Amino acid sequence: GPQASKVRAPLGSGFAIHPHGVEMESGASYLVRYGVEDKIADAVERALKERPGNPLSFIGSLLMTGSPTAMGGLTAVERWFPNLGREILNGKPPQSSASSSAAPPMLLSGASEGADTRFGACALQAGHVVAHILGPRNAPSDECVAKQAESLYNVPDEVLDDEIITNAFKLAIEERGPPMGLTSMMTGELRDCRRNYLQVIRAEGCFCVAYRLRPSPETPKVDIGGGTGWAAQWYVDRFEPTGSEDPEGCHLYLWDDGDPNWDGCHIDPATHRRWSRWHPPSDKWVPLSAGEQLPQLSSLRHYAGIGSTRLSADGEKAIASLYCNPSSVVDIT
């Protein structure tokens, strides 16, 4: 048939010429007709307002369905406490005012496998608020994703990179020594641990179910292994002589859950498979005697519950005992 007439539309008319000679709508006009630019602008504006942990998923969900999905949108704890990370750094964590004296306790943890997940499950069952603090590189356990997703709190980089945390790292490294291969406090293992600072710096009590490191010239005095060790160190550094707080207020407790079959941990009969309290004046663990009281979790506004990614059956029971009978040490042996 006859060749189609190729008439070029005037600039700005909203039409262009298709490669096959058929007049077609211009890209700009096409986007305007479907309101694409307006919808994208609205989604970006909402993301900037709500600051979700995954802004791309959040925006994508808004464009596809009109509402954010559970993974892309804000979790319940992020909606309740949108500035939690910054408020902790600034010394004004939520629920700390007199008007909130009736608020339930808040568990600060990390959603990792093992102790974090167990603490979260027990705290939720007890009616506590749970905030699992996560940095971009920290992955929650499958159980937390399935059953504690509304308790996940994603910390933005601007908080994790704050000078307060960097300075705390420098101080803790003086006590613990740098990890092998350390090149920067902003990458690798130390990058992953930066969120741990937020778990403990305002906590009124810190409960760890973890293992102790084997004694050596390089072993720090606060001899808990893994990321839990960094968290415990930051907690201890709050108190005199390193910090300004009264040592009598140091409530760091360890359930020594070391595996006797693993040579990477220290098995001390005095502390193994029982609760001990850190004693700042002597820089050592002091086992709690039978019947000696632990702080009641229900009396704390904020407390940290953290520990190893692998727990023994006794370690799991130790965590549960804090909630079943929080006013005393429970003999589970």
**β-strand pairing of 23-25 with 15-17:** antiparallel
- Determine the angle formed by the axes of helices 226-236 and 188-200, rounding to 10 degrees: 50
Q: Looking at the structure, tell me whether residues 53 and 82 fall in a common domain.
A: no
Residue 52: per-residue pLDDT: 65
Q: Looking at the structure, tell me whether residues 50 and 106 fall in a common domain.
A: no
Residue 276 lies inside a defined structural domain of this protein: yes
Name the token pair of 165: 């945390």
252-256, strands of its sheet edge to edge: 152-154, 129-134, 106-109, 302-307, 205-210, 252-256, 275-279, 284-287
Residue 123 lies inside a defined structural domain of this protein: yes
Q: Looking at the structure, tell me whether residues 47 and 83 fall in a common domain.
A: no
Residue 48: per-residue pLDDT: 84
Q: Looking at the structure, tell me whether residues 82 and 56 fall in a common domain.
A: no
In the chain, the N- to C-terminal Cα span, in Å, equals 93
Q: Looking at the structure, tell me whether residues 149 and 104 fall in a common domain.
A: yes
Q: What is the DSSP string of 36-58?
A: HHHHHHHHHHHHHHH--SSHHHH
Q: Looking at the structure, tell me whether residues 53 and 194 fall in a common domain.
A: no
Residue 6 lies inside a defined structural domain of this protein: no
| Residue-number span of the structural domain to which 42 is assigned | 15-65
Residue located via tokens 């992953």: 192
Q: Looking at the structure, tell me whether residues 144 and 255 fall in a common domain.
A: yes
Residue 19: per-residue pLDDT: 46
Distance, in Å, from the CA atom of 277 to the CA atom of 266, rounded to the nearest integer, reads 17
pLDDT per residue over 77-90, tens digit each? 999 999 999 999 99
Of the candidates 270, 319, 271, 312, which has an alpha carbon nearest to the alpha carbon of residue 294? 319
Residue 4 lies inside a defined structural domain of this protein: no
The list of the chain residues with pLDDT below 70 reads 1-25, 33-34, 50, 52-54, 57-58, 60-72, 95-102, 178-190, 325-333
Residue 180 lies inside a defined structural domain of this protein: yes
Q: Looking at the structure, tell me whether residues 61 and 89 fall in a common domain.
A: no
Determine phi and psi for 174, rounding to 5 degrees: -65, -30
Residue 255: per-residue pLDDT: 98
Q: Looking at the structure, tell me whether residues 84 and 156 fall in a common domain.
A: yes
Looking at the DSSP bridge assignments, the partners of residue 116 are none
Residue located via tokens 């707080």: 245
Residue 220 lies inside a defined structural domain of this protein: yes
CB neighbours of 184 closer than 8 A, spacing ≥ 6? 190
For residue 197, the SS3 value is: helix
11: amino acid identity, one letter:
L
81-109 exposure pattern, b = at least 16 Cβ within 10 A, e = fewer:
bbebbebbbeeebbbbeeeeeeeebbbbb
Residue 97: per-residue pLDDT: 40
Residue 36 lies inside a defined structural domain of this protein: yes
Q: Looking at the structure, tell me whether residues 39 and 59 fall in a common domain.
A: yes
**β-strand pairing of 252-256 with 284-287:** unpaired
Distance, in Å, from the CA atom of 144 to the CA atom of 110, rounded to the nearest integer, reads 10
Q: Looking at the structure, tell me whether residues 108 and 251 fall in a common domain.
A: yes
137-148 exposure pattern, b = at least 16 Cβ within 10 A, e = fewer:
ebebbeebeeeb
Handedness of CA 295, 298, 299, 303 (dihedral sign): positive
Domain count for the chain: 2
Q: Looking at the structure, tell me whether residues 174 and 261 fall in a common domain.
A: yes
CB neighbours of 67 closer than 8 A, spacing ≥ 6? 61, 73
181-206 exposure pattern, b = at least 16 Cβ within 10 A, e = fewer:
eeeebeeeebbbbbbbbbbbbbbbbb
For residue 80, the SS3 value is: helix
For residue 304, the SS3 value is: strand
